[in-house]
């Protein structure tokens, strides 16, 4: 578990951007990470070199090449913005941008805006646009999606923490469950049963409820449940129009939709998500396309270790039951495994939460 020196208590459970950046800065300073990090360096490729017995990986960067005995790719699910190409989009005269380039709603005051995507980014951007005074806001999507009010989810977390089901204790107990195993799938069912009743049914406004629970839905389709910060009431009162449709093409003044015909918009924001982008620098033999969402992911054992070579790891790609909360533990687990192979690890180096290896279940 990360040692933050008690700083975590100063922040809200769900941190806004500025608090999150402040936390990262404090964490990096406390652990002297800046002096160990090379900023402004872009990795262009990772190459296997079997001629070097001790350092079989050659990492190419924009500044220099380096050799390594072990490589850890920790770039995660969302490294590259996904911007689908639409017919005639170059002829669109309005403003077109991906959610990555969006900063706030002020530039869109008085404008009609289409937000493509009903996920967390789409919902938050749509809410901000309304609050900033956009003339009209429409949010477009086709597939089903869970919407759970953030305050309701927060209350559940507080209750779970008080009962030992969340926080360090709950995380340590759940982390040993390997994705795809029977105990893991049983845990998915439990989490689905716990989260599903919290969801708000928005079917009448154009967003259907998925057929399976929230965690199963993410595993099956990669659609993340929306932890809503205000879009639900705005959909209900009509300030956010939900369009259940698809963009077929752009027109000079807007978009051509599949069922709804032509609509004019001053701006279109693509809240269409992100991809790992591993094909840009990771050898193809280490990855495979996941059929449920069509993007390349690493071939792992479910616990970050490559199934192709035993000296490369991928942190932030395997889905634990507690989602992003477990990424820190995945990193610690990988670090312990590498240090053990190097002969530099001993059990006393584990955080106090771990009386055993982080991948070993309690007996």
User: Does residue 235 contact residue 205 with C-beta atoms inside 8 Å?
Assistant: yes
User: Does residue 73 contact residue 310 with C-beta atoms inside 8 Å?
Assistant: no
Q: Name the β-bridge partners of 57.
A: 48, 68
**What share of the chain has pLDDT > 90, as a percent?**
68
Instruction: Tell whether the model's pLDDT for residue 298 goes beyond 90.
Output: yes
Structure tokens belonging to residue 318 = 């395997």
pLDDT reported for residue 323 = 61
**What share of the chain has pLDDT > 70, as a percent?**
94
In sequence order, what are the residues at sequence separation of 6 or more whose Cβ sits closer than 8 angstroms to the Cβ of residue 21? Answer: none
Q: What is the mean pLDDT of the segment spanning 134-145?
A: 97
Most confident listed range (13-22, 116-125, 156-165, 319-328): 116-125
CA distance 118 to 105: 17
Is 352 exposed, middle or buried (CB count within 10 Å of its CB: 0-12, 13-18, 19+)?
exposed
By residue count, the chain amounts to: 363
SS3 state at 102:
coil
Angle of CA points 161, 74, 80, to nearest 5°: 105
Place of tokens 């002096």: 35
How far is CA 1 from its chain centroid? 20
pLDDT reported for residue 295 = 86
pLDDT reported for residue 251 = 98
CA distance 194 to 141: 26
Angle of CA points 350, 356, 357, to nearest 5°: 75
Closest to 206 in 3D by CA, of 228, 230, 238:
238
SS3 string, 247-280, reads EEEEECCEEEECCCEEEECCEEEECCCEECCHHH
pLDDT reported for residue 320 = 82
Angle of CA points 31, 36, 39, to nearest 5°: 115
pLDDT grade, residue 324 (50/70/90)? low
In sequence order, what are the residues at sequence separation of 6 or more whose Cβ sits closer than 8 angstroms to the Cβ of residue 62? Answer: 41, 42, 44
Average pLDDT, the chain: 91
pLDDT reported for residue 13 = 72
Give the number of other Cβ atoms within 10 Å of residue 141's Cβ: 24
Instruction: Tell whether the model's pLDDT for residue 164 goes beyond 80.
Output: no
Instruction: Give the model confidence (pLDDT) of 19-67 as tens digits.
Output: 889 988 998 999 899 888 888 999 999 999 989 989 999 999 999 999 9
CA distance 92 to 252: 4
Q: What is the mean pLDDT of the segment spanning 79-99?
A: 96
In sequence order, what are the residues at sequence separation of 6 or more whose Cβ sits closer than 8 angstroms to the Cβ of residue 157? Answer: 13, 166
Q: What is the mean pLDDT of the segment spanning 199-206?
A: 97
Structure tokens belonging to residue 248 = 């077929």
User: Does residue 125 contact residue 273 with C-beta atoms inside 8 Å?
Assistant: no
Place of tokens 């690890």: 345
pLDDT reported for residue 1 = 41
Place of tokens 């969006």: 102
Per-residue CA distances from 171 to 26, 83, 175, 242 (Å): 23, 35, 6, 37
- What pTM was estimated for this model as a whole? 0.90
DSSP assignments along 74-89, one per residue: ---TTSEE-----BTG
Q: Which domains does the chain have, with CATH numbers?
A: 1-37 (no CATH), 81-147+202-209+222-274 (3.50.50.60), 151-198 (no CATH)
Instruction: Give the model confidence (pLDDT) of 221-274 as tens digits.
Output: 888 999 999 999 999 999 999 999 999 999 999 999 999 999 999 999 999 999
CA distance 27 to 312: 26
CA distance 196 to 144: 14
Instruction: Tell whether the model's pLDDT for residue 363 goes beyond 90.
Output: no
Instruction: Tell whether the model's pLDDT for residue 77 goes beyond 90.
Output: no
Instruction: Tell whether the model's pLDDT for residue 2 goes beyond 60.
Output: no
CA distance 244 to 139: 9
């Amino acid at each position: 578990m990360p040692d933050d020196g008690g700083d975590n208590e100063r922040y809200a459970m769900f941190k806004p951007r500025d608090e999150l950046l402040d936390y990262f800065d404090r964490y990096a300073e406390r652990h002297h990470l800046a002096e160990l990090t090379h900023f402004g360096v872009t990795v262009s490729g990772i190459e296997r070199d079997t001629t070097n017995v001790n350092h079989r990986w050659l990492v190419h960067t924009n500044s220099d090449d380096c050799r390594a005995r072990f490589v850890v790719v920790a770039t995660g699910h969302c490294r590259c913005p996904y911007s689908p190409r639409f017919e005639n989009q170059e002829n669109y005269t309005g403003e077109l941008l991906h959610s990555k380039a969006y900063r706030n709603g002020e530039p869109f005051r008085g404008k009609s805006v289409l937000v493509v995507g009903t996920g967390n980014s789409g919902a938050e951007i749509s809410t901000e646009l309304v609050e900033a005074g956009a003339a009209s806001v429409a949010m477009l999507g086709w597939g089903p999606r869970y919407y759970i009010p953030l305050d309701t989810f927060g209350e559940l977390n507080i209750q779970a923490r008080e009962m030992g089901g969340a926080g360090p204790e709950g995380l340590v107990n759940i982390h040993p469950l390997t994705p795809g195993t029977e105990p893991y799938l049983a845990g998915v069912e439990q989490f689905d049963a716990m989260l599903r009743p919290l969801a708000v049914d928005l079917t009448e406004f154009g967003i259907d409820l998925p057929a399976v629970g929230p965690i199963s839905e993410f595993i099956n389709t990669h659609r993340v449940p929306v932890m809503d910060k205000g879009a639900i009431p705005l959909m209900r009162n009509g300030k956010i129009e939900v369009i259940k449709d698809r963009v077929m093409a752009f027109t000079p003044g807007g978009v051509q939709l599949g069922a709804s015909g032509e609509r004019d918009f001053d701006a279109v924001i693509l809240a269409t998500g992100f991809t790992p982008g591993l094909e840009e620098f990771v050898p193809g033999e280490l990855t495979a396309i996941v059929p449920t969402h069509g993007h390349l992911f690493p071939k792992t054992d479910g616990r970050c270790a490559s199934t192709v070579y035993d000296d490369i790891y991928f942190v932030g790609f395997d889905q634990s039951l507690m989602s992003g909360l477990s990424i820190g533990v995945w990193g610690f687990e990988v670090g312990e495994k590498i240090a053990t192979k190097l002969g530099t690890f001993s059990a006393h180096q584990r955080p106090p939460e771990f009386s055993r290896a982080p991948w070993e279940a309690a007996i």
